[in-house]
């Protein structure tokens, strides 16, 4: 079968994701490929565009700029709060993640960047915001999406069976 990647197909890929420094940020290997629903914004736009039209066995190096990846760093999402904003007894330390509503009306995931005395510096940007992403990707599987997958807007793994 020489089906090519297009909308409403579930695609399995293996990949290595690196940043500009060549550090490996994430991988999916052939023993556990990553499955997504094409055309449903499951993956960053810059990668989805480049995968369109590929077929099983195709390999590609894809460089994704921040604006087509996880966005530029938004300084408004870097905020400073007092320790009293946390429940008493919370041991706040760098790297902690939690959800907070900073006035946008819905909780966003924040990471504690640093703690200085009574001041806590938070960052609500995606950890990969502002980064150019370098993917080495290989297409390992293409199949039709199930009705459930199309209506849910995401893939249900290798066999399309949902556990939710």
Nearer to Zn ion by Cβ, of 65 and 162: the residue is 162
Nearer to Zn ion by Cβ, of 36 and 135: the residue is 36
Nearer to Zn ion by Cβ, of 42 and 141: the residue is 42
- What's the start-to-end Cα distance of the chain, in Å? 31
110's tokens: 């924040």
User: CA-based Rg of the chain, rounded to a whole angstrom?
Assistant: 19
Nearer to Zn ion by Cβ, of 18 and 152: the residue is 152
12's tokens: 């399995």
Q: How far is the CB of 135 from Zn ion (least distance, A)?
A: 24
Q: How far is the CB of 164 from Zn ion (least distance, A)?
A: 6
Q: How far is the CB of 162 from Zn ion (least distance, A)?
A: 5
Is-contact 22 63, C-beta < 8 A? Answer: no
Per-residue b/e over 96-127, b at no fewer than 16 CB within 10 Å?
Answer: beeebeeeeeeeeebbbbeeeeeebebbbbbe
Nearer to Zn ion by Cβ, of 63 and 152: the residue is 152
In this chain, which residue has its C-beta nearest to Zn ion? 152
Q: How far is the CB of 133 from Zn ion (least distance, A)?
A: 25
Is-contact 149 78, C-beta < 8 A? Answer: no
The residues that touch Zn ion, with contacts defined as CB under 5 A, are: 152, 162
Q: How far is the CB of 163 from Zn ion (least distance, A)?
A: 9
């Amino acid at each position: 079968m020489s089906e090519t990647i297009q909308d409403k197909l579930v695609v399995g890929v293996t990949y290595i994701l690196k940043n500009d420094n060549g550090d490996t940020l994430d991988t999916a290997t052939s023993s556990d490929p990553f499955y997504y629903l094409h055309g449903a914004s499951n993956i960053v736009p810059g990668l989805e565009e480049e995968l369109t039209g590929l077929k099983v066995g195709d390999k590609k190096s894809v460089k994704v700029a921040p604006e087509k990846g996880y966005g530029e760093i938004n300084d408004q999402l870097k905020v400073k709060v007092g320790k009293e904003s946390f429940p008493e007894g919370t041991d706040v330390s760098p790297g902690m993640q939690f959800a907070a509503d900073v006035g946008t009306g819905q909780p966003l995931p924040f990471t504690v960047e640093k703690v200085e005395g009574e001041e806590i510096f938070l960052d609500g940007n995606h950890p990969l915001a502002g980064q150019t992403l370098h993917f080495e990707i290989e297409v390992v599987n293409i199949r039709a999406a199930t009705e459930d997958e199309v209506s849910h807007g995401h893939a249900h793994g290798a066999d399309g069976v949902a556990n939710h």
